Amino acid sequence: MATLAISDAADGRRVLALSGRLDANSIRRVWAEGRQAIAAAPERRVVVDAANVDYCDGAGVALLIDLIAQRKAGDVQVANLAPKFEALLQQFDVQEVERDQDPPARRRNGIEEVGVLAAGVASDMRDQIVFVGESAAALGYALLHPSSVRWKDVWRICEQVGANALPIVALISFLLGVILAFQSAIPMRRFGAEIFVADLIGLAMLRELGPLMTAILLAGRSGAAFAAEIGTMTVNQEVDALTTMGLDPVRFLVTPRIIAALLMTPLLTLFADLISLLGGAMTLQSFSIPFVTFVHEVEAIVDYSDFMAGFVKSFVFAILIAGIGCLRGLQTAAGASAVGDATTRAVVSGIVLLVAVDGIFAFLYYLLDI
Amino acid sequence: MANNATSPADVPERATRDVPIIRVRDLTVGYGGVALLEHVSFDVRRGEILVILGGSGSGKSTLLKHMIGLDEPLAGSVLIDGDDIVTATGDARRAILRRIGVMYQSGALFGSMTLAENVRLPLEEYTDLTSAEIELIARMKLSLVGLALFTGHLPAEVSGGMQKRAAIARAMALDPMILFLDEPSAGLDPITSAELDALIKRLSRNLGATFVVVTHELPSIFAIADRVIMIDRRTKGIIAEGDPRKLRDESPDPWVRQFFNREATPVAA
């Protein structure tokens, strides 16, 4: 335990006699006392007598340096420190240690923050526009030159995006159908209108929820995977390697993913529509509506245009999911956390865009009376 | 696609050995408008192994990135066999990139492809050779770097040294005139590092390609370099150029001698 004895010498100097162990566990109290003792005698020179210090480590040296730095150079002196501790103390220049040589950058004020944010948003939008142009050009080239597409990659990605996503799409769609049917049927039963739940499920799932929920699932699953995979390639300089080989990363990495998403998302949407209807039909059986009645009711109310309204959207959603995932991957910065950031951005901006575009579709369909 | 690769064996008439294959002129590089190196000018001679060296953070890898056209310089030009990679776009840029091969510090092999598929990639993209012909070339390139028994392995299934050798094989796939190697010895044990140095030396001798190597590993520098240029972040430019042994023994700049003799900067006791 460290102790501090304060006394005044005959020559007027204040003496701070330290003793015991000077380490991180024992100096907290004497540190505060020492500072107070020096501050209480502003006109006197101070001697820190370390003759009885048994042990002194880095923390103890920090205490001594801080006491020395309380006054201008020379006014506080350390005396009688054992040579092995003195050597430790001599490693440091008091003035240099005390001065913060790398002060934190000046914090931006509110207006600057808004400006930086706006510039960031503008830059991101510009990147997105450039990326849309590059992707469209690459897709157009792929359409005109199908042999230029790396089909091996396309089928591999199709499996990841499509086949591997079937279980989760089935589960969510089925539960969605069940929940929608159950929550609607209870109030409808009060009016004897349970049968119209089939209409609701048919229209809501095929026009809106089937494509949207499938797309949101894929944004979280495949969009994130695209961003992580391409982000890791960016960090590992694999994208640089492509560039210096003269190969366009958009054509090489983005085109196969967009094609795979375009092939798989509509199929998964169709699958989600059917499974959610199945969930709804099974639930309505418990409300005494047989399966056949449910099918006839859906057939009567849902026509081809309702199905197409949802199906067409799924193609646009596919481009959005794959495009945003790939863009965020290519934008990945350096560092360990960069891939995580890219993945998060891919999912967040993907879902926001999906919902926004879905809203635009709803407005267009309203205008076109679809 | 026609194969119009420019290989060391297919050197244009104007390009004699005395004419520099790379001319870097007044190159200023940096990020965010802040220059790391200013007005750097030097030549790389045809067929030589030039090592770019300097202390940590001096801008070696940044300079390399600008020389291979990955980043846009703040000013200046990089002429590769007479064509400026800084200003070239589209097909002209692709034509320049065909003349170079790059091995990145991490190897940068495509993780989902085998070593052979990595080497096949540029051949598939740039030539109209059949799959069997491309396979043969890929196997030849991998055998050239001692990886004939690992053609079907994924990068994750081989050691770091093997990955770097495979990356060299991929960089050589199209028989480029110039090979850029970024820190080839980084992270390798001394024996593997020495083997890689021997490989670089052998490839340079046998293929006649020009090598530009970024490193600060002294044993590698003395083993492979025909000539070095040394850059320094304090002067933001080249502080020494020439034979590494002469610089070690005779450089007028004490910091250069200190670097080559691996001496620490004295600190106050």
Question: What ipTM was reported for this prediction?
Answer: 0.79
**What is residue B14's predicted lDDT score, i.e. its pLDDT?**
43
β-pairing verdict for A3-8 and A14-22: antiparallel
Mean pLDDT of A216-222: 94
Q: Report residue A132's pLDDT band, with 50, 70 and 90 as the boundaries.
A: confident
**DSSP letter for each residue of chain B:** -------GGG--TT--TTS-SEEEEEEEEEETTEEEEEEEEEEE-TT-EEEEEESTTSSHHHHHHHHTTSS--SEEEEEETTEETTT--HHHHHHHHHTEEEE-TT----TTS-HHHHHHHHHHHH----HHHHHHHHHHHHHHTT-GGGTT--GGGS-HHHHHHHHHHHHTTT--SEEEEESTTTT--HHHHHHHHHHHHHHHHHH--EEEEE---HHHHHHH-SEEEEEETTTTEEEEEE-HHHHHHH-S-HHHHHHHTT-PPP---
**What is residue A362's predicted lDDT score, i.e. its pLDDT?**
92
Cβ separation A241–B122 shorter than 8 A: no
Please determine, for residue A94, whether its predicted confidence score (pLDDT) is greater than 60: yes
**What is residue B258's predicted lDDT score, i.e. its pLDDT?**
86
Q: Which of B42, B61, B87 is nearest to B183 (CA)?
A: B61
Contact A135, A258 (CB under 8 A): yes
Mean pLDDT of A269-282: 95
- Ranges in chain B, pLDDT < 70: 1-18, 266-269
What is the Cα–Cα distance from A221 to A214, expressed in whole angstroms?
Answer: 10
What is the Cα–Cα distance from B90 to B246, expressed in whole angstroms?
Answer: 43
Identify all chain A residues contacting B93, using CB atoms and an 8 Å cutoff. Answer: 246
* DSSP code of residue A146: G
From A156, A238, A244, residue closest to B110, measured CB to CB:
A238
Identify all chain B residues contacting A237, using CB atoms and an 8 Å cutoff. Answer: 104-106, 108
Please determine, for residue A105, whether its predicted confidence score (pLDDT) is greater than 90: no
Min Cα separation B112/chain A (Å): 10
Alpha carbon distance, N-terminus to C-terminus of chain B: 67
**What is residue A33's predicted lDDT score, i.e. its pLDDT?**
92
**Residue A236 contacts B, CB cutoff 8 Å:** yes
| B142-179 core/surface letters (b: 16 or more CB in 10 A; e: else) | bebbebeebbeebbeebeebbbbbbbbbbbbbbbbbbb
What is the Cα–Cα distance from A249 to A230, expressed in whole angstroms?
Answer: 10
Which helix (H) or strand (E) is A55 found in, with range? strand A46-56
Helix axes A304-330, A255-285, angle to 10 degrees: 140
From B100, B104, B112, residue closest to A240, measured CB to CB:
B104
Q: Which of B167, B46, B52, B42 is nearest to B99 (CA)?
A: B46
Identify all chain B residues contacting A245, using CB atoms and an 8 Å cutoff. Answer: 97, 121-122, 125
Sign of CA dihedral B227, B231, B235, B238: positive
**What is residue A72's predicted lDDT score, i.e. its pLDDT?**
78
Min Cα separation A268/chain B (Å): 26
**Residue B46 contacts A, CB cutoff 8 Å:** no
Identify all chain B residues contacting A246, using CB atoms and an 8 Å cutoff. Answer: 93-94, 97-98, 125-126
**Residue A147 contacts B, CB cutoff 8 Å:** no
Contact A178, A170 (CB under 8 A): no
How high is the mean pLDDT of chain A? Answer: 91
**What is residue B17's predicted lDDT score, i.e. its pLDDT?**
57
Tokens at B195, concatenated: 């083997």
What is the Cα–Cα distance from B181 to A244, expressed in whole angstroms?
Answer: 13
Min Cα separation B224/chain A (Å): 24
CA triple A325-B112-A231, angle to 5 deg: 30
**What is residue A101's predicted lDDT score, i.e. its pLDDT?**
67
**Residue A300 contacts B, CB cutoff 8 Å:** no
How high is the mean pLDDT of chain B? Answer: 86
Low-confidence winner among A205-219, A253-267, B11-25, B131-145 (lowest mean pLDDT):
B11-25
- Pick A212 or B207 by higher pLDDT: A212
Please determine, for residue A172, whether its predicted confidence score (pLDDT) is greater than 90: yes
Cβ separation B122–A245 shorter than 8 A: yes
Cβ separation B102–A241 shorter than 8 A: yes
What pLDDT digit, counting tens, does each position of A42-74 carry? 888 899 999 999 999 989 999 999 999 888 777
A256: left (phi over 0), alpha (psi -120 to 50) or beta: alpha
**What is residue B11's predicted lDDT score, i.e. its pLDDT?**
46
Tokens at A35, concatenated: 């500072």
What is the Cα–Cα distance from B234 to B257, expressed in whole angstroms?
Answer: 16
Residue A314 half-sphere exposure, CB side, CA atoms within 13 Å? 30
Residues 97 through 156 of chain B touching chain A, CB cutoff 8 Å: 97-98, 100, 102, 104-106, 108-112, 121-122, 125-126
